Structure 1
Amino acid sequence: MKTLSKLTTALLAAGALCGGVYAASNGLDAKAETRPLFNDKRPIITPQSLPGGAYDPNGDFSNDPNPKIEHLFLPWEDVDLSTLSTADDYARKRGRSLLITIEPWSWASNWRVTPTDLLDGILAGRYDSNMTAICSAAAKLNAPVTIRWAQEMDEKNGQFTWAYWKAEDYVKAYRHAVTVCRKSLPTAKYMWSPMGKDGLEAYYPGDSFVDVVGLSVFGYQPFDQHKLGRDSTFVEATKPGYDRVKRFKKPIVIAELGYQGDEAYVHAWAEDANKPHSEFPDLKAVVYFNDREVYPWPDGLGRPDWRVATPPLLN
């Protein structure tokens, strides 16, 4: 689970990490239930690379000078906001900005309400205090902040409550949440972040509510082989979503990147992910999702493990 307490533990533990070298793994685990003991599959960064970042609850990027963005995930219920200051201090010492994804629910699944009740509550202002609490806390931070609210609304796999809403209702809710947050946090940038699916255009809330567009891009070799009969590339996986959002003429960031496969597959993705590509002139940064997938993928393909190292890399 993407918990702030888990992040805080990782941040506090990061100071104890020491140098180490880990060999790349061989072999493909089709269901991602086991991992090679040692592996380092962080994106390959060169002087020409796009800025990188990471959601990094395991601290694998703690001593890595390359990431420029620290990604946090928060539910807007049952969250301890006092630990945001720890994350801010951690990011600031490393010269990183903060990308804060706010998920409009509780991470305790038995506390969640129906899609209709959540939507009605947002539009009626019953969750304004939740949004205000997070944005007021973020306003006290020193690192630059980008707010990403209710991501991947166009992904219809049943993972997110807000993905059940009609597009026009999502737009109303997004606008309401951003309007509330701006009262406390006018200096932040606001990221609208679809998965990249066909039809995402209907969910666009308008230029005045979007400073940057996010995308999610994942490469999972068992899925590629199952669906395509071959491996996919980073460019191939990114292009459909990128082409759908470039019409909005906003800076584009891959807010969640992950890949898993055999050594050749991982190396190809790691080499390409932060490389400038002529196909993506508006792509400004790539942020790695350094954790295991929360939900299993379809067709019995298991839970992909995007982590760059297990056990955590001592970098």
Structure 2
Amino acid sequence: MKRTSSKTYLAIAFGILFVLILFFGVRFLLKNYLLNIYYPTNQQVVAVFNVNGESKVLPPGSIICYNAVFKNTALWSDKSAFETALSNHDVLITVETWLKGSDYKRNVLNEVANGRFDKQISELGAVIAKSKKKVFIRWAPDMEVPTDVYPWQFKLPKDYIEAFNYFSKRIKQLAPKVQIVWGPSGYPGDTEYWPGNQMVDYASITLGSSSEKSVNYYPLAGSIPEMLKSKLHRLRFIDRPVLIMSDEEGLKTNFKPIWLTDQQSYHHKYINTVYSKNVYADSAKIKPERTALKIGVYDPNKKLFNRPRITVEHLFTDWGEVERGDFERNFLQVIDRHHEVIVTMEPWRDNSGITDTIVLENILKGRYDKQIKKLFDIISSTKTIVYLRWMHEMEIPIHRYAWQSQDPVSYINAFRYFMQFDGGPGINVKKVWGPAGDRGSVDFWPGDDVVDYISIAIYGLPDKNITDPEKQEAFSTIFNRKYYRMRFLDKPLFITEFGVKGSEAFQNKWLANAAKTINTNPHIFGICYFNLYDNPKAWGNIKAPDWSITPKSMIKFCSLLNE
């Protein structure tokens, strides 16, 4: 056997030593120096929109865009080029926080708020504090888009807000002059993640967002002006200038000043209504609290309406029923039972039976003025309180109703036209704005002066494909999610539709949870159970859910409710 020489052993030993030195050296370098990766991005700030000040298009390169990636597995980082850019240019830094390896499944927002990235924040703060130029920091953008392109996306809004404010406070302490940018894409539901004015200097939106392109829940706008219009509209509760960003080459050099001018003109046109300063809100508004709870039912088969504590009945109607007199007959029957009335007016079918596909436009043109007047005359002819709910569930991105998935400003104008028509309905009528409570609800908020109550719908079945009743969401889960979306608004809440399917035992369990939630939320002024199956046409080939409960279950539910 050939013997291994001493030189070979020595070479092996030096090789092992070199590997160990390299390993621990790189590890030390990663841990102590290469905490962050810095690199220039293709994104660009193309314009600034300021509804209360100057809006302007920015020449290419006015603000250099960099990414700072908090992921301490970097083998390379062009930190010197980054520091040079900070010395010579205004810079916008988009900060990304990532977890590595097995930690990837953890909630990165909680990790930020718990101090996991403090060293990375400190490094970034020390670098940007030296700059004499303007520095913008945009942390964890596109957070509202329901996708997983980034690990912080589509998490609980409260988790995002806590992490955002934690990061922003620390970076401000290190670099007080930095401009903090809250960076939603501009997707429906973005304001759920609004962290408040205290830490935010600018908002931003992204035209042609890659995150948005990865999902198809909402249709993409057909043109840049349409996209700009919808995204800026969604920020109307935010009193901050908006940086308009894009990574599409065509927009970087061809963003047209007329697009910005048109948006300024559009906002000014509705400055006293849709874009009034009254809609600006920094945080959740204080909600009024009830003195007594209204309990109602939608009960066409008349199985629950005469039970103890039921004082409200729900009627759905349309133009045709008002014209024929069917609505008046049904309405007066409820009045004769000495019950208050929820009237959900669905303005989509008249006596012709043909659905009006451009109903918002026709309302504003006065096509239905006679029907509106007749409806107002009927519901205002009594001293009984009537809750008038008009064009409900407008925000759901479907076309079940002709007023759904429409331009929010057109909807708002039609809502206001109706509620203010000929001076509005009588003093006994309470005006109800009734979104389902889904993403983007507040995009359709018509204004304090035409709303007395907000209504939402709560049904246990979150998905048409769920057939197991046990998989239905709890009332409290749905309520907390939907009610949080109303935090900019200060009106009392009336849950005008709620229901659950399943065995009587399961329904009772679900309703017990509902009662507990209602008792602990005094801003809920009224509730109304939907005691029927849903409209089969809305469910296609799937059997429509039956929300009906027994009188015994209704009595038990009412017994759990506080007076």
Distance 1:167 1:268, change over 3 A: same
Alignment match of 1:100 (pick from 343, 357, 360): 343
Deviates more, 1:289-298 or 1:142-151: 289-298
CA distance in 1, matches of 2:524, 2:305: 24
Aligned to 1:248: 489
Offset of residue 301 of structure 1:
4.2
Deviates more, 1:286-295 or 1:178-187: 178-187
CA distance in 1, matches of 2:475, 2:320: 35
User: Are the equivalent residues in 1 in contact too, given 2:314–2:341 (CA < 8 A)?
Assistant: yes
Alignment match of 2:547 (pick from 302, 306, 311): 306
- Return the structure number with greater relative CO, CA threshold 8 A, min gap 6: 1
Counterpart code for 1:112: T
Offset of residue 186 of structure 1:
3.9
SS in structure 1 at match of 2:458: strand
Aligned to 1:132: 373
Offset of residue 223 of structure 1:
4.9
CA distance in 1, matches of 2:373, 2:300: 25
Distance 1:154 1:295, change over 3 A: farther
> Unpaired segments of 5 or more residues in structure 2?
1-290, 555-563
Distance 1:301 1:308, change over 3 A: same
Deviation digits for residues 233-268 of structure 1 (CA, Å, limit 9, x no counterpart):
110121111111142111001111111023442112
Alignment match of 2:413 (pick from 172, 182, 201): 172
CA distance in 2, matches of 1:204, 1:257: 21
Deviation digits for residues 187-211 of structure 1 (CA, Å, limit 9, x no counterpart):
3110000001111111000000100
CA distance in 1, matches of 2:422, 2:299: 25
The alignment's TM-score, normalised by the length of structure 2, stands at 0.42
Alignment match of 1:266 (pick from 507, 527, 533): 507
Distance 1:263 1:227, change over 3 A: closer
Aligned to 2:441: 200
CA distance in 1, matches of 2:334, 2:520: 34
SS in structure 2 at match of 1:129: helix
Distance 1:151 1:62, change over 3 A: same
Matches within 5 A, 1:276-315: 276-277=517-518, 280-295=521-536, 301-309=542-550
CA distance in 2, matches of 1:307, 1:229: 16
Offset of residue 276 of structure 1:
4.7
Structure label with greater radius of gyration: 2
Counterpart code for 1:238: F
Distance 1:92 1:246, change over 3 A: farther
Distance 1:87 1:77, change over 3 A: closer
Aligned to 2:457: 216
SS in structure 2 at match of 1:111: coil
Alignment match of 1:54 (pick from 297, 318, 329): 297
SS in structure 1 at match of 2:308: coil
Deviation digits for residues 267-312 of structure 1 (CA, Å, limit 9, x no counterpart):
12222334454763411211011121013666964201112259xx
Question: When the two structures are aligned, how many residues end up with a matched partner?
Answer: 261
Aligned to 1:88: 332
User: Are the equivalent residues in 1 in contact too, given 2:400–2:538 (CA < 8 A)?
Assistant: no
Counterpart code for 1:153: M
Distance 1:119 1:223, change over 3 A: closer
Aligned to 1:71: 314
Distance 1:83 1:152, change over 3 A: closer
CA distance in 2, matches of 1:49, 1:272: 20
Alignment match of 2:395 (pick from 151, 154, 162): 154
Counterpart code for 2:523: D
SS in structure 1 at match of 2:508: helix
Deviation digits for residues 35-78 of structure 1 (CA, Å, limit 9, x no counterpart):
xxxxxxxxxxxxx9943101111101232021121111110234
CA distance in 2, matches of 1:120, 1:282: 35
CA distance in 1, matches of 2:515, 2:465: 21
Distance 1:182 1:76, change over 3 A: farther
Aligned to 1:23: none
Aligned to 1:113: 356
Deviates more, 1:117-126 or 1:227-236: 227-236
Counterpart code for 2:479: T
Distance 1:125 1:221, change over 3 A: closer
